[in-house]
Structure 1
């Protein structure tokens, strides 16, 4: 039986893993895809001590740091269920990508599964996924060199997407359903100053059109007319949804975020959560990492009390 299983593989998991390793816990990290949302981030200029990096590099650094402590990691595995046993321990059901299922037992569990992109839910979105529709500008942006593209959204992720595409695409439309952006001022200023970016405010995207691949999208701006723009790429950045659906034993808020206290404890003793999957506000890499540290220390205290 493990002392701890960390579910997830991004900033919170890495920070918790480092602290758990330094305290010599018997633990492992189980993740579907190491790096998580960090790996899909573009330029990162707010990670303390590093003036400039990007998501791919930072995620790689996370892995290197964990490997330096010989942390046991299982990539490509998905936790499908977490159950609390009569003795207070936990059983985790695991789907091992192409290798069947298994289960692990642990005295404590830390959930750091993060979030996934929110869908538009409009015609053409699913039909043209990976045929012009994408949710990851870092991953797919380079495929649209000198093409016409649109980024949908009005927050930081949409602004970052637009700026990244400004260096790649021929033209970038930013489709924002609100009358103003809701993001960092420095990003808003850069977007508004960029020569290749055109902003469309008060625009609700209604459908994505195409043949074999995306050829355009339509939007409604309240004037009773359907407006169309011709683009080959549609980058959707309208928010995130917590990856908490597999967990049915903890208390969540109306958004599906796992409710935690100041020590990252859920309502289930021995089950902790950290990072973007929780109800802690301000989804930032640095905050997720800090939560991971807090959770690890709280788990160490919890385990020590169990042994006493």
Structure 2
């Protein structure tokens, strides 16, 4: 990446804080390729804190040294004989063989509290590829017994689908009782229906020119929002929406990102850029409230079940 690509992007303290938070989550969940890409981007931006800039540079160098395979182009990785899923399954089989009862300990760890969301996600990533007869039942009982963090609920559904489970589960999510079909859970965020992709594409198109720092992590934050919303009445509402409501949700998401990252944001300017007229203000206010609830639930630093 050229050092001049983002020379006009200035990282304000709140923006830096957000990126630090995201980097920590990526490292804790072993998403090293994403962390390398983010650091490559951050080091091309103006940062008012030179100390942070040097920390990022050192972290990037360490990641590239320790995980050189994560710097390879995806096309090269796809040429490998084993797929990523097969590699993970093989690694988990080795762990279970070398550490008797490893799957049981992972399942038991879900019951520990306080427990960070990232630790739970990491445990679920491993449980998805472990061969153990009791995993599906234990996960089902655990996720339906109490209301879990929305991101964790969604990850459990993905894990169960990956393990071949089918059928319906009844969950409590955001104060709402929902019924979901495990086999219909999107395996990746690229699998969500078209109206979903249109919303994030609209945000990226609008922000790319004058707010590239915002556009960069909009996709990941949107993915987390989808996990938060999946299966709820609001999610079904988005799928049924009219064309103009794409702009309604896009404008609400864009404004919330500005508030969170820059602690700034001109509401009237955002509404104007997305063409939100008075006739659409009620829908916009509804979407904005949902977005605020998402931010409060997802980015709270306190441990969650």
Larger helix proportion, structure 1 or 2? 2
Larger strand proportion, structure 1 or 2? 1
TM-score bucket (shorter structure):
under 0.3
The structure showing larger relative contact order (alpha-carbon pairs under 8 Å, at least 6 residues apart) is 1
Q: Scaled by the length of structure 1, what TM-score is found?
A: 0.23
